[in-house]
Structure 1
Amino acid sequence: MRNREHEIYDVVGIGFGPSNLSLAIALEEYAASGPGNEMSAVFFERQSSFGWHRSMLLPSATMQISFLKDLVTFRNPTSSFSFIAYLHASGRLPQFVNNQDFFPTRQEFHQYLEWAQAQVADRVVYGSEVTSIRQPFSAAPQPPDRLLLEVADAAGRAGRVIEARNVVISTGLVPSMPAGTERDERVWHSSEFLEKYRRMNPRELRRVAVAGAGQSAAEITRFLYDELPHAQVFAAVPSYGYSVADDTPFANRIFDPEAVDDYYFGTEQTRGAFWRYHRNTNYSVVDGDVIRELYRRSYDDEVRGVSRLEFLNLTMVTGVKRVGAETRVSLQSGPDAEVRELNVDVLVCATGYDPMEPTGLLGDLDRLCLRDEAGRYRVERDYRIATSPESRCGIYLQGGTEHTHGLTSSLLSNIAVRSGEIVDSIVARRTA
């Protein structure tokens, strides 16, 4: 990277999770498809090494999508970067087939992602973060065909400015906490769960609470119940218990690549129907097996006459304060209900994420980005932000496009096809 600091890159990726990893592979395979197809690319990732939701790699936790929805298969079934290729390279392909399961553990899928990224690691600069993007001044009548990116190191020190013809932003979702609740050593978001849990002495955790109604909340509740046999576990669920995720075949078709077109080119009524009817495929829902396992644990407690697992249904966290060594959580069941206080050693907020928001990163460049009536970015079908004629460069989003591209925008289901479409767009605009 240092030897090529002054090169103008065809593509600069900001963030290097699964989405931009898939993009790096798509660029690699496009370059290998014929002479003259090479594109210079570099990716910046603020983490010191590759990692994807490491703090949720809980024992026995499985993926919610088929292994065939990997980094490449839906775009290129013959790719050497597929999950099947990884199993073959690892010597586990026959054993995996004998397992007769479409859903690998999250830990195994993470190993697959690490295996894939090792093959394109020469394109990635870890411990670095793009802090701003701007358009250079040009006295020519035509707008400049490049962007300037300020890159800082892990300590926040500005390192260098590089040039790019296209940027692909994939900085990930932002952890969301209940209103008035701040994270500290005893109040965690699910995104940091295992990291924080491993710092604790488990024997000191006697009363723990988990807030949330989705998959992460249920998995963490199960984990704490199993790992802390001496502890009481409270599950604050805003609904009346957990709701099952709809993973039936017809509902799953909304994650098909073709569904993106149906959403993007659909009417407002069509888009509303997507969310109204199919929100239960992914948001605030839990796999049926996990629900049954938790219910069985609760029922077994009743049979034994103990009360280790308590579900607080229709309950929201409304505040948290420290009282001595304890964490006092304020809970409310409904808007007019009396607030109840619960003393715990740890509160885990599995309360979801906010969408990726690149406005701060874009800075003054944001004024050239077009927005819709609701103030959201106008995003073209190829995931490129629509810009005014003053900008000729491509600014692509991997995430933050739910309002234009639908439910798969922040999910793994469509990353292979989406990355291919972005590469196709960059190639088409380069040769136009």
Structure 2
Amino acid sequence: MSSNADYDDAPVDVLGIGFGPSNLALAIALQEQGLLGSAAGGGGRLRFMERQNQFGWHQGMLLDGARMQISFLKDLATMRSPSSPYTFLHYLQDRGRLVDFINGKTFFPSRIEFHDYLEWAAARFSRVVEYGSEVIGIEPVYTGDVVQEVDVVVQRADGIRRHRARNIVFAAGLQPWIPEGITLSDRIWHSSELLHRLREINVAGIRKALVIGAGQSAAEVTSHLHQVCPNAQVHSVFARFGYSVADDSPFANRIFDPEAVDVHFRAAPDIRQMLRRYHDGTNYSVVDLDLISDLFERSYQEKVVHDQRLHFHNLSRVTRCVQTPAGADVTVHDLVEGHVESMTCDLVVFATGYRPVDPRCFLGPLLEHCQLDAGGRVALARDYRVLTSPRIRSRIFVQGATEDSHGLSSGLLSNVAVRAGEIAESLAEALREQGEPLTAAAR
């Protein structure tokens, strides 16, 4: 066991890995259950480790005019507790914009405004969050042959530190995904970097830009580059015939209802796969109709005036993308006709989505005590708790990497408030079973 000198603070009852919307919603639920004492403090019972140096949620895609694709009522608290002081409506009242928002007659705030709401809520928990702290491992702490606590190993600018905890909640979010063989560079980006990268270059000097992807992010990046790079030919490449419309109709949206999690969790594996196939169109590789129509209209009007800057390569795939001194050499393969087109681009953006961070990467020796499902993932109970052997008394929860067991809404904002409440209730039960709070003397 490591020496006490490795530890920065007293042990905690709950340690959260990551502090994005999921664990922020959990902090709110725990505070409202009385498990934190006060929003600003908490008596050492709760701590979060966040890799970023400050709160941020998809900041590289906070594009002007981009709106949320879910109702503001699916915020951090409303679906669990409409009277919570952490709802979006309370935020609007605090900011002095409630009446103006109502007069706007929309359920869908801008992405910039919703991010401001998240920052507003996160600021109220700053004393229980350690920013600039990247979790690199979790180690069991044995009492005899039983794991009563765990040590969370954290990399910070000033070195490696340890935090002892009874229970952990894993919510490390998503990581950008790019096709195999692609190397990101100063001219080949993932869409998550878009705004950060554009600030570093002369957009007026961009002559040719290429975007890969068929989903909402790809369409938004294509639209944004077409607007902010006035001299650029903007090419969009996707394997579909055209952008597919997101199905946000009332019946289809029921797949994101809290009750849908129970249905998905109880369903047999083949039924889960069927539900995924049926309802992929609500979230994956789909685009809002208004944005599709806008892009089509722009392209059409450019044809009318014989000044084409917006180009769509459908039924196509990028088979080569390599950085060069002049930018990036790209090969586009027509999947139907077999034609191959080579072009040199000033910048290339892969809007190819994200993958959830796998909790198995952090569990280390604990993994041998965790049950795995048929796909080799950690097996979860309905309350998002990792199923472990009786030798593990600590509870480990997972937020986000749970789509296979809990359905489409598990990694999305739609169910974040309800999910946080369920985990908070399970944590309250765990703390009752575990007895008195940990103290420094317990080490």
State the TM-score, normalizing by the size of structure 2.
Answer: 0.92
- Look up the match of 1:9: 12
- Look up the match of 2:278: 277
Change in Cα spacing, 1:172 to 1:34, as seen in structure 2 (3 Å) is closer
Once residues 355 and 337 of structure 2 are traced to their aligned partners in structure 1, the CA distance between those partners, rounded to angstroms, is 27
Shift of 1:335: 8.3
SS in 1 for 2:318: strand
SS in 2 for 1:230: coil
- Look up the match of 1:229: 230
Alignment of 1:128-143 (within 5 A): 128-138=133-143, 140=144, 143=146
The question of whether the paired residues in 2 share the 8 Å contact of 1:257 and 1:414 is answered with yes
Change in Cα spacing, 1:6 to 1:232, as seen in structure 2 (3 Å) is closer
- Look up the match of 1:152: 155
Shift of 1:79: 0.4
CA-to-aligned-CA distance 1:261-293 (integer Å, 9 cap, x gap): 000011223212211110000000000000000
Once residues 132 and 286 of structure 2 are traced to their aligned partners in structure 1, the CA distance between those partners, rounded to angstroms, is 35
The question of whether the paired residues in 1 share the 8 Å contact of 2:315 and 2:336 is answered with no
Once residues 153 and 304 of structure 2 are traced to their aligned partners in structure 1, the CA distance between those partners, rounded to angstroms, is 62
CA-to-aligned-CA distance 1:349-370 (integer Å, 9 cap, x gap): 0001122212221112111111
- Look up the match of 1:299: 300
- Look up the match of 2:170: 169
Shift of 1:246: 0.1
- Look up the match of 2:77: 72
Change in Cα spacing, 1:162 to 1:33, as seen in structure 2 (3 Å) is closer
- Sequence identity of aligned pairs in percent? 47
Indicate the larger mover: 258-267 or 389-398: 389-398
Shift of 1:145: 1.3
- Look up the match of 1:401: 402
State the TM-score, normalizing by the size of structure 1.
Answer: 0.95
Could you tell me which of 113, 116, 120 is aligned with 1:108? 113
Once residues 168 and 208 of structure 1 are traced to their aligned partners in structure 2, the CA distance between those partners, rounded to angstroms, is 41
Once residues 332 and 420 of structure 1 are traced to their aligned partners in structure 2, the CA distance between those partners, rounded to angstroms, is 48
CA-to-aligned-CA distance 1:276-313 (integer Å, 9 cap, x gap): 11000000000000000000100110111121000000
Once residues 235 and 54 of structure 1 are traced to their aligned partners in structure 2, the CA distance between those partners, rounded to angstroms, is 22
Once residues 247 and 395 of structure 1 are traced to their aligned partners in structure 2, the CA distance between those partners, rounded to angstroms, is 34
Shift of 1:130: 1.7
Once residues 377 and 193 of structure 1 are traced to their aligned partners in structure 2, the CA distance between those partners, rounded to angstroms, is 33
| Matching of residue 27 in structure 1 with residue 27 in structure 2 | no
- Look up the match of 1:426: 427
- Residue ranges of structure 1 left out of the alignment (5+ in a row): none
SS in 1 for 2:342: strand
The question of whether the paired residues in 1 share the 8 Å contact of 2:153 and 2:163 is answered with yes
* Residue identity opposite 2:312 in structure 1: F
Once residues 290 and 336 of structure 1 are traced to their aligned partners in structure 2, the CA distance between those partners, rounded to angstroms, is 28
The question of whether the paired residues in 2 share the 8 Å contact of 1:252 and 1:281 is answered with yes
- Look up the match of 1:359: 360
SS in 2 for 1:146: strand
Shift of 1:8: 2.2
| Matching of residue 41 in structure 1 with residue 42 in structure 2 | no
- Look up the match of 1:388: 389
SS in 2 for 1:120: helix
Once residues 40 and 274 of structure 1 are traced to their aligned partners in structure 2, the CA distance between those partners, rounded to angstroms, is 39
| Matching of residue 87 in structure 1 with residue 92 in structure 2 | yes
Shift of 1:39: 7.6
Shift of 1:104: 0.2
Once residues 268 and 363 of structure 2 are traced to their aligned partners in structure 1, the CA distance between those partners, rounded to angstroms, is 30
SS in 1 for 2:321: strand
Indicate the larger mover: 329-338 or 276-285: 329-338
Once residues 56 and 357 of structure 2 are traced to their aligned partners in structure 1, the CA distance between those partners, rounded to angstroms, is 18
Alignment of 1:307-318 (within 5 A): 307-318=308-319
Shift of 1:230: 1.6
* Residue identity opposite 2:372 in structure 1: R
Indicate the larger mover: 318-327 or 258-267: 318-327
Shift of 1:226: 1.2
CA-to-aligned-CA distance 1:43-82 (integer Å, 9 cap, x gap): 0111111000000000000000000000000011000000
Once residues 221 and 296 of structure 1 are traced to their aligned partners in structure 2, the CA distance between those partners, rounded to angstroms, is 14
SS in 1 for 2:34: helix
- Please list every run of at least 4 consecutive aligned residues from structure 1 whose deviation after the TM superposition is greater than 3 angstroms: 32-35
Shift of 1:417: 0.5
- Look up the match of 1:52: 57
Shift of 1:336: 8.3
SS in 2 for 1:61: coil
The question of whether the paired residues in 2 share the 8 Å contact of 1:11 and 1:164 is answered with yes
The question of whether the paired residues in 2 share the 8 Å contact of 1:179 and 1:319 is answered with no
- Look up the match of 1:372: 373
- Residue ranges of structure 2 left out of the alignment (5+ in a row): 434-443
The question of whether the paired residues in 2 share the 8 Å contact of 1:178 and 1:317 is answered with no
- Look up the match of 2:439: none
Shift of 1:324: 3.0
- Look up the match of 2:217: 216
Change in Cα spacing, 1:404 to 1:32, as seen in structure 2 (3 Å) is closer
- Look up the match of 1:246: 247
The question of whether the paired residues in 2 share the 8 Å contact of 1:12 and 1:167 is answered with yes
* Residue identity opposite 1:317 in structure 2: V
Indicate the larger mover: 370-379 or 107-116: 370-379
CA RMSD of aligned residues (A): 1.9
